[in-house]
């Protein structure tokens, strides 16, 4: 039965198209015979594959969705293949070498993009398309007298792409477009049982190859993509390979589209404002904490930085695969601001709460902070501790001496012995003892104040050492991040 079908198919093949005198080109009757063969692959010998040549031009990068890992592009896809039934002699057809025919009436290769999620084409809208309005239609193909067909398709593709956003906004993306036939294989091995023998039959349907060199495709795309907004085309690379699944093999062409982001928008809107806020926060360390309310100033900066991050959150890409380095930079800057505020609160509490009872500094604090850390950051010990001014108590005399108590007591005792014999009723011994008790209390109070002042001075030194340490750590981290960003920018420029 298969043999009879093959004989019938060969018998109806038109060979060359017929041209009548007075007609420019093949006649409608001869083309109608070719249209009737539209369901069949246009090859006289079905064992010979149909070669499909593919090329495309990248017109625009419409958008990148980092969270969904999607790339939206606009392509001009061009397909070439050979139809052995559409052949005529130009001399017999009034010099006509090329005609246009409706693509629906001809066999066409089922070339798809394997990474494609959905597409919009100017020919037939995809069922998954959300836009029903197709403004332009291109239902025709060009056919020359040798049977070679050219089909141009304008496509808006939404394809899957593994996006790397760690170096945002200086990132370079490498997305893959894999073109190949969906159903037609390039080689299929069939084992047919004929009695006790096996017969191997190789079936070849469609093979694909690039129509232009990858360098030419890249040059054409770069010329049309020069004014394409945020993204810039670097190169288009590719290779042909074979996709094997079981006994079937498909010819595929893999294109690597390398694009990079133009970072000027994000540098102006993200990095520069953040750098200004961080510079102000660094300069706030030069405010004297004992005379200026530095904590309220830092709280205002934190509030402004938080509002800045909320406003600019839409510009930062988000994905489950990772976090961009600039996002880590913003988080570290905010954490440093909070830590500097906490440190300022501690120092302010040490300097301005003179009524608190200070405890002895632990030994490990003296060794680690006042000795090793102070030497490491080159902290200079002031001659006098910068203590806040303190009002004298109302019951405290204007000038007191901690060593005046014994002298007053001795002088009072001598005076009492000298006048005890002459004026026994003038003063009594209990009154002198009460005066001595008052003077001893005053001495102990002055001694405790002196000890508290020394402890306060030591704790102030601890606070100043921590302030200097945090300031230098602040500068080191900000400098490292600035160096990393500048290096990434230089690498981005060197790739152009």
Asked if 83 and 180 touch (Cβ cutoff 8 Å), the reply is: no
Give the span between the Cα atoms of 42 and 45, in whole angstroms: 9
Residue in 255, 258, 264, 263 with CA at minimum distance from that of residue 233? 258
Contact between 225 and 60 under an 8 Å Cβ cutoff? The reply is yes
Structure-block tokens of residue 132: 């029903």
Q: Are strands 116-121 and 111-113 parallel, antiparallel or unpaired?
A: unpaired
- Bridge-based pairing of strands 50-65 and 206-210 is parallel
Give the residue carrying structure tokens 């003063």. Answer: 427
**Sequential pLDDT tens for the chain (496 residues):** 344 333 334 344 456 788 777 667 788 888 888 888 888 888 888 778 889 999 999 988 888 888 888 888 888 899 999 998 888 888 888 888 898 899 889 998 988 888 876 544 443 333 333 333 333 557 889 999 888 999 998 888 888 888 888 888 888 889 999 998 888 887 665 555 555 545 555 667 888 999 999 999 999 998 887 666 788 888 999 998 888 887 778 889 999 999 988 888 888 888 888 888 888 888 888 887 666 678 888 899 999 999 998 888 878 887 666 788 888 888 888 988 888 888 888 777 766 654 455 667 777 777 777 777 777 777 766 655 444 444 444 444 444 444 444 544 455 455 545 555 555 545 567 888 888 888 888 888 787 777 777 777 777 777 778 778 888 888 888 888 888 888 888 887 877 6
Predicted TM-score of the model (pTM) = 0.68
Structure tokens belonging to residue 260: 């990079």
* DSSP three-state, residue 99: strand
Residues 6+ apart with CB under 8 A from 77: 54, 55, 56, 152, 153, 154, 155
């Amino acid at each position: 039965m298969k043999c009879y079908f093959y004989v019938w198919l060969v018998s109806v093949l038109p060979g060359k198209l017929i041209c009548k005198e007075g007609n420019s080109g093949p006649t409608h009757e001869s083309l109608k015979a070719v249209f009737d063969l539209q369901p069949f692959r246009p090859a006289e010998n079905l064992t010979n594959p149909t070669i499909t040549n593919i090329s495309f031009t990248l017109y625009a990068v419409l958008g990148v969705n980092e969270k969904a890992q999607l790339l939206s592009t606009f392509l001009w896809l061009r397909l070439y293949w050979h139809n052995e039934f559409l052949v005529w002699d130009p001399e017999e057809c009034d010099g006509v070498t090329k005609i246009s025919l409706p693509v629906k009436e001809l066999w066409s290769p089922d070339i798809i993009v394997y990474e494609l999620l959905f597409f919009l084409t100017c020919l037939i809208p995809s069922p998954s398309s959300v836009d029903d309005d197709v403004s332009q239609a291109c239902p025709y193909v060009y056919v020359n007298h040798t049977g070679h067909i050219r089909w141009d398709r304008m496509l808006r593709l939404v394809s899957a792409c593994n996006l790397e956003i760690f170096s945002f906004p200086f990132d370079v993306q490498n997305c893959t477009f894999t073109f190949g036939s969906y159903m037609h294989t390039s080689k299929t091995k069939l084992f047919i049982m004929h009695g006790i023998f096996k017969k191997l039959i190789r079936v070849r349907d469609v093979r694909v190859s690039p129509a232009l060199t990858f360098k030419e495709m890249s040059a054409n795309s770069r010329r049309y993509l020069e004014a394409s907004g945020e993204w810039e085309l670097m190169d288009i690379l590719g290779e042909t390979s074979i996709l094997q699944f079981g006994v079937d093999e498909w010819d595929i062409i893999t294109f690597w589209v390398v694009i990079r982001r133009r970072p000027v928008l994000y540098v102006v809107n993200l990095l520069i404002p953040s750098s200004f806020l961080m510079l102000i926060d660094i300069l706030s360390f030069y405010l004297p904490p004992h005379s200026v309310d530095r904590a309220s100033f830092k709280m205002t900066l934190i509030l402004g930085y938080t509002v800045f991050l909320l406003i600019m959150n839409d510009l930062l890409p988000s994905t489950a695969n990772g976090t961009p380095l600039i996002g880590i930079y913003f988080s570290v800057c905010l954490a440093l601001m909070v830590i500097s505020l906490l440190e300022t609160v501690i120092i302010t509490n040490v300097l301005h709460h003179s009524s608190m009872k200070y405890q002895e500094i632990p030994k490990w604090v003296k060794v680690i902070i006042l000795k090793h850390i102070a030497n490491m950051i080159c902290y200079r010990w002031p001659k006098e501790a910068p203590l806040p001014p303190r009002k004298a108590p109302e019951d405290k005399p204007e000038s007191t001496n901690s060593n005046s108590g014994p002298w007053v007591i001795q002088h009072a005792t001598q005076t009492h012995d000298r006048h005890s014999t002459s004026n026994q009723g003038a003063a009594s011994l209990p009154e002198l003892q009460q005066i001595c008790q008052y003077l001893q209390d005053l001495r102990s109070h002055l001694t405790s104040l002196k000890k508290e002042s020394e402890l306060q001075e030591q704790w102030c030194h601890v606070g100043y050492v921590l302030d200097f340490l945090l300031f230098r750590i602040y500068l080191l981290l900000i400098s490292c991040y600035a160096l990393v960003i500048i290096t990434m920018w230089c690498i981005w420029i060197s790739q152009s």
